[in-house]
């Protein structure tokens, strides 16, 4: 009888610690005929088995997967499917829905790359056929494209998930990579991209990003479900802007280059204006805030960097928009910068301001102002010796360039491990309490 009670208490501990009760029961397998000492031995065996199982879960590769349900117009809920970080962020900011498909507006996209969280809203706006027809009818042509295109469109447009991935890719491309990006779309090599070619590569973006968060055994099923829920089923603002209302126009490299350059400039200007508040410059402290807000630095690290800037640059000279833009364009060339740094530092030693500035010029063709370079060094040069660990700098700036995706993954991993440790602690505490009663 006592053994039976002990067994029930052990299972209760499992439930309290949110473990898999059935699996632990199979491992422990305490029978009513066991003596208390045998039951204790079986309990220890079960605990060890549970611990090994948990360790395997911790050492497995943990990817940022979130489950969610979306509801179409027919009221039927789709099966739960895994989402990557990009999918989760897309759904967070996407504010409209049409025929059961979730879409971003141009304003949603801009906010997704400049804000940490979306604005509060109650659900998504469900668009009707006439509303969508009006939005697409008023899409500007390529000749009217500018570095204010998305801001002028505001909420008057539709952006699909695959287009969202494409636009994110645009934001991280260096000027030297524009031609490569165009050639990837131009599959037949005729120096123009038609609508069909564009849609084919769009789906490649979607498939690669979707599969990144799924196990191989579930890939085909997951991709099919995600494509069903996020791929465009009709024209979007971007498709009409590129290929016209009937989809017959072709996209030349000059148009493609101009669009990519304009989009990069628009996002850079948005970030600058957020801090400049109508002034011609932002402070060195503001520059540090912009640089660090998408990185894996915690609040303490960020504050330490800000404090260094305040102490070492007491007189505010300010950073102009042109200086800020040049630095942001340089961040898109971090891979080239890494190669250039290796030419200077075979022994992985820190780099000087002159070496840093020279490497930036080689990669981008632009010369950063001495004041901007000095500000960057004050942010990251903790010991004040006038040198910078280029490896650490590159790692931090890659986080910034990808706007928090790596930070989110590490946060997810840490949260998972903390949750696992809490489960184990509560389980041990519960077992100890029960053992004292015998």
Rounded Cα gap, residues 429 and 10, in angstroms: 11
Query: Of 152, 145, 361, which is closest to residue 257 (Cα–Cα)?
Result: 145
Helix, strand, coil fractions of the chain, as percent rounded to 5: 65, 5, 30
Name the domain count of the chain. 3
One domain, residues 129 and 261: yes
Rounded Cα gap, residues 160 and 150, in angstroms: 15
139 located within any domain: yes
- Buried b or exposed e, range 232-241, using 16+ CB within 10 angstroms: beebbbbbbb
Q: In the prediction, which pLDDT does 348 show?
A: 66
Strand partners, 159: 104
Q: If DSSP codes are grouped into helix, strand and coil, which group holds residue 167?
A: helix
Structure tokens at 421: 């440790």
357 contacts 321 by C-beta, under 8 angstroms: no
What is the CATH number for 394?
Answer: 1.10.238
428: burial class by Cβ within 10 Å (0-12, 13-18, 19+)?
Answer: middle
One domain, residues 348 and 374: yes
One domain, residues 52 and 105: no
Where is 83: in which H helix or E strand? strand 81-83
247 located within any domain: yes
pLDDT in tens, 243-277: 999 999 999 999 999 999 999 999 999 999 999 98
Backbone angles phi, psi at 187, to 5 degrees: -70, -25
One domain, residues 31 and 119: no
92 contacts 118 by C-beta, under 8 angstroms: yes
Domain boundary among 236, 267, 298: 267
Query: Of 114, 216, 223, which is closest to residue 161 (Cα–Cα)?
Result: 223
408 located within any domain: no
Q: In the prediction, which pLDDT does 429 show?
A: 58
One domain, residues 56 and 72: no
Domain boundary among 238, 267, 296: 267
272 located within any domain: no
344 located within any domain: yes
One domain, residues 114 and 262: yes
One domain, residues 186 and 82: yes
One domain, residues 224 and 306: no
Q: If DSSP codes are grouped into helix, strand and coil, which group holds residue 104?
A: strand
- Domain limits at 258? 66-267
407 located within any domain: no
300 located within any domain: yes
Strand partners, 102: 97
Walk along the chain (438 residues) and give the pLDDT tens digit of each residue. 444 444 455 444 444 444 444 444 444 444 444 455 554 455 544 544 454 444 444 333 333 333 334 444 344 444 444 467 788 889 999 999 999 999 999 999 999 998 888 888 888 999 999 999 999 999 999 988 899 999 999 999 999 999 999 999 899 888 888 888 888 888 888 999 999 888 887 666 555 444 444 433 343 334 334 444 444 447 999 999 999 999 999 999 999 999 999 999 999 999 999 999 889 999 999 999 998 887 878 888 889 999 999 999 988 899 999 999 999 999 998 888 888 887 776 656 788 899 899 999 988 888 999 999 999 999 998 888 888 887 778 888 888 777 655 555 554 444 444 444 445 555 555 555 545 444
One domain, residues 249 and 346: no
383 contacts 312 by C-beta, under 8 angstroms: no
One domain, residues 106 and 242: yes
Count the neighbouring beta carbons within 10 Å of the beta carbon of residue 225: 17
Q: In the prediction, which pLDDT does 87 show?
A: 87
| DSSP one-letter string for 313-378 | --S---EEHHHHHHHHHHHTTHHHHHHHHHHH-TT---EEHHHHHHHHHHHHS----HHHHHHHHH
Tokens 């305490």, located at residue: 30
Torsion of CA 291, 292, 293, 298, to 10 degrees: 180
One domain, residues 19 and 136: no
Question: What is the DSSP secondary structure assignment for residue 73, as one 8-state letter?
Answer: T
Count the neighbouring beta carbons within 10 Å of the beta carbon of residue 249: 18
pTM over 0.95, yes/no = no
One domain, residues 260 and 289: no
* Rounded to 5°, angle at Cα 194 from 191 and 195: 155
422 located within any domain: yes
Structure tokens at 215: 């196990």
Q: In the prediction, which pLDDT does 283 show?
A: 94
Tokens 């287009």, located at residue: 163
């Amino acid at each position: 009888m006592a053994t039976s009670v002990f067994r029930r208490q052990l299972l209760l501990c499992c439930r309290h610690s949110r473990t898999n009760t059935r699996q632990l029961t199979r491992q422990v397998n305490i029978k009513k005929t066991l003596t208390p000492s045998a039951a204790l031995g079986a309990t220890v065996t079960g605990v060890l088995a549970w611990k090994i199982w948990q360790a395997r879960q911790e050492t497995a590769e943990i990817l940022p997967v979130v489950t969610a349900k979306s509801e179409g117009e027919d009221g039927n809920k789709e099966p739960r499917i895994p989402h990557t970080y990009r999918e989760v962020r897309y759904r967070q900011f996407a504010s409209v829905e049409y025929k059961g498909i979730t879409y971003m507006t141009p304003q949603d996209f801009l906010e997704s790359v400049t804000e940490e969280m979306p604005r509060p809203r109650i659900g998504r706006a469900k668009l009707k056929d006439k509303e969508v027809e009006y939005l697409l009818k008023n899409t500007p042509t390529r000749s009217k494209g500018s570095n204010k295109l998305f801001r002028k469109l505001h909420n008057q447009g539709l952006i699909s998930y695959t287009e969202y991935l494409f636009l994110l890719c645009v934001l991280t491309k260096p000027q030297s990579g524009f031609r490569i990006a165009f050639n990837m779309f131009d599959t037949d090599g005729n120096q123009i991209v038609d609508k069909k070619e564009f849609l084919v590569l769009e789906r490649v973006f979607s498939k690669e990003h979707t599969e990144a968060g799924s196990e191989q055994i579930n890939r085909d099923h997951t991709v099919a479900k995600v494509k069903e829920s996020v791929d465009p089923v009709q024209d979007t603002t971007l498709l009409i802007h590129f290929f016209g209302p009937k989809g017959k126009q072709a996209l030349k490299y000059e148009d493609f280059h101009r669009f990519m350059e304009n989009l990069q400039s628009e996002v850079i200007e948005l970030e600058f204006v957020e801090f400049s508040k109508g002034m011609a410059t932002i402070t060195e402290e503001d520059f540090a805030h912009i640089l660090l807000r998408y990185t894996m630095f915690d609040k303490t690290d960020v504050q330490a960097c800000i404090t260094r800037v305040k102490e070492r640059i007491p007189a505010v000279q300010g950073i102009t928009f042109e200086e800020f833009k040049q630095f942001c364009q340089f961040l898109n060339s971090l891979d080239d910068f890494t190669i250039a740094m290796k030419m200077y530092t075979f022994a992985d030693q820190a780099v000087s301001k002159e070496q840093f500035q020279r490497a930036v010029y080689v990669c981008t063709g632009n010369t950063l102002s001495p004041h901007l370079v000095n500000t960057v060094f004050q942010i990251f040069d903790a010991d004040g010796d006038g040198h910078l660990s280029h490896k650490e700098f590159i790692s931090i700036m890659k986080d910034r360039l990808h706007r928090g995706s790596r930070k989110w993954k590490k946060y997810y991993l840490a949260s998972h491990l903390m949750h696992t440790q809490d489960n184990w602690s509560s389980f041990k505490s519960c077992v100890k309490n029960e053992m004292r009663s015998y």
